[in-house]
Amino acid sequence: MSAFVTLDGVDHAYAGAGSALAVEGLSIAVEQGEFAAVVGPSGCGKSTLMKLATGLQFPRSGSVTVAGAQVKASVKIAGMAFQAPTLLPWRTTLENLMLPLEIVEPYRSEMRRRRAEFRERAEKLLASVGLSGQGNKFPWELSGGMQQRASLCRALIHQPQLLMLDEPFGALDAFTREELWCVIRDLQAASKITVILVTHDLREAVFLADRVFVMSSRPGRIVVERKIDLPRPRDLEVTFTPAFTDIVHELRGHIVKARQ
């Protein structure tokens, strides 16, 4: 059986960047229901990996498969969230959550008929990340952490099988960030959704992931793959145990090497 998300020997260069490759010989396989984290130096092609796996970019050579099919168009079974929450300021939080449903089928054509049901789903999702009753506020009335929670909800509203997170907590303070780690941890435990998390925070990667992939500097490829066998459910306390810090140290060593 093949993995849920597979990149195999992928080279990619952006149009306009000449022949300079962003990633070269990139291979990664993420199993269904797995929580994968990708770390690497800045500019190494982590976001490019995300775009390749969701069909926003297509490889120059090599193959990308998601859920058993070659990626030829945008992958509609994926939800995405980024460092910036990118909520629309003219929509309430709840209306922001509904945006993907207005785009993606089959919800799009059922929007008119099932609006009430969708609203209820959005409200439930908000409640699950600790935002119950905040749906009628505008994004700019929410704190940064709350906006990022709402952004996560927007990524999940169409019940995707794959969640792509590109440095989603990078702009938050340390306390809020750790709160959101727990939010993501619980969401993933409850839904068993496949997650690919890009981050530059090694503690974040080790705390959340089943496997951590380390990328080389540009052109990026995977240089180390590290299984994290800390028992689940993991509590924030685990981040202070020697086992945890040992893994973080080990990964740090790989990153330092990757940057050279």
Ligand X SMILES: Nc1ncnc2c1ncn2[C@@H]1O[C@H](COP(=O)(O)OP(=O)(O)O)[C@@H](O)[C@H]1O
Dihedral sign, CA of 126, 31, 63, 106?
A: negative
Is the CB of 184 or the CB of 215 nearer to ligand X?
A: 215
Spell out the alpha helix ranges (H) of the chain: 46-53, 93-103, 107-128, 144-156, 174-191, 202-208, 242-259
- 58 touching ligand X, by CB under 6 A: no
Phi, psi torsion values for 25, nearest 5 degrees: 60, 40
- 103 touching ligand X, by CB under 6 A: no
CB atoms within 10 A of CB 110: 13
Q: 111: buried, middle or exposed (CB in 10 Å: 19+, 13-18, 0-12)?
A: middle
Q: What's the full length of the chain, in residues?
A: 260
CB atoms within 10 A of CB 34: 19
20 with 13: CB under 8 angstroms? yes
Cross-strand bridge partners of residue 38: 198, 213
- 216 touching ligand X, by CB under 6 A: no
Out of 5, 26, 35, 47, name the contact with ligand X by CB under 6 A. 47
Cross-strand bridge partners of residue 12: 23
Instruction: Name the site residues for other proteins (rule: CB under 8 A).
Output: 51, 54-56, 73-76, 78, 80-84, 86, 88-90, 99-100, 102-105, 138, 140-141, 154-155, 158, 164, 166
| Rounded Cα–Cα distance for residues 45 and 216 (Å) | 9
- 218 touching ligand X, by CB under 6 A: yes
Is the CB of 16 or the CB of 133 nearer to ligand X?
A: 16
| Rounded Cα–Cα distance for residues 221 and 242 (Å) | 29
Tell me, residue by residue from 17 to 36, as one string, x for binding to ligand X by CB under 6 A and - for no binding: x----x--------------
**How many residues of this chain interact with ligand X, rule: CB under 6 A?**
12
Is the CB of 61 or the CB of 136 nearer to ligand X?
A: 61
Out of 10, 24, 29, 45, name the contact with ligand X by CB under 6 A. 45
Out of 10, 22, 47, 213, name the contact with Mg ion by CB under 5 A. 47
Is the CB of 53 or the CB of 146 nearer to ligand X?
A: 53
Q: Which does 158 bind (CB under 5 to 8 A by kind): Mg ion, other proteins, ligand X, none?
A: other proteins
Least Å from the CB of residue 206 to ligand X: 19
Out of 1, 16, 175, 237, name the contact with ligand X by CB under 6 A. 16
Query: CA separation (Å) from 210 to 226, 228, 231?
Result: 9, 5, 10
Q: Which residues are at the interface with ligand X (CB under 6 A)?
A: 14, 16-17, 22, 42-48, 218
Q: Which residues are at the interface with Mg ion (CB under 5 A)?
A: 47
